[in-house]
Amino acid sequence: MDDLGGRTVVLTGAAGGIGAATAHALAARGARLALVDRAEAPLAALADSLAQAVPGIETLSIAADVTSEADMTRMAEDTLARFGRIDALITTAAILRGETGMRPLAQTSFAEWQRVIDVNLTGTFLSNRAVLPAMLGQKMGDIINLSSTSGRQGRAFDGPYSASKSGIIGLSEALSEEVSRDGVRVQTLLPDAVDTGLWAQAGTSGLKPRAMLTPERVAEVILYLLALPRDTYLLNSVVVPVPTRRRKGGKKDG
């Protein structure tokens, strides 16, 4: 895989499971990182762990909310002020649902709907829009938006999440068509179930599938997308775990 030394990568949701794993993978390849998350304490802890793992790593911690237009504008401005350019944006900020558990759409409040759409879809829009002027000015850039297999096939009782992730696919497809000829490559990744803290939200830990991706495996795929030749891109790539193997007698391993 190509070395990422000297490339500046903005990572939203950096303190989360996929975000933190991706930050460590990028740091190991020499990237300069703008770490973006609304949770300041976990963000500081991530920066410390990166400094210990990769001495000399250049990082910028930005406490910001992806649903805030002002925060996303500041994110881009602060990154440019520190590093002078933005080579890539990876959007991992997401929530599974708001303050409630799984429920039918007929029982879903507008506040619940709005919160999930704001973080997952509007947050992707605002962060993408914020970095585009720099990338278009450079005639080069990479955007990797994380959707989900739920964005391709909606999941019952999780209408807001499925809709938000489907919206990310449509947004990314439209943006790719707009800017690909200007040197900006937009790719979308659709992971299946990933073993992160999202499953602890609203009491869904008991619903975790047996076979799940690790955040580190998703990070490896993200780095693969970044390393593709400039004349190649993958849109709506689905990443799934290998099903749990069955032993003789019908029992499953693990």
Return the amino acid letter for 252: K
Whether the Cβ atoms of residue 130 and residue 76 lie closer than 8 Å to each other: yes
Cβ-based neighbours of 77, under 8 Å, separated by 6 or more: none
List, in order, residues 6 or more apart from 48 with CB less than 8 Å away.
none
Catalytic annotation, pick one of 9, 15, 75, 161: 161
Q: Indicate if 233 belongs to the active site.
A: no
Three-state DSSP at 99 gives: coil
The Cα angle at residue 49 between residues 196 and 70, in degrees rounded to 5? 70
Please say whether the dihedral angle defined by the alpha carbons of residues 108, 114, 115 and 120, taken in this order, is positive or negative: positive
Active site residues: 161
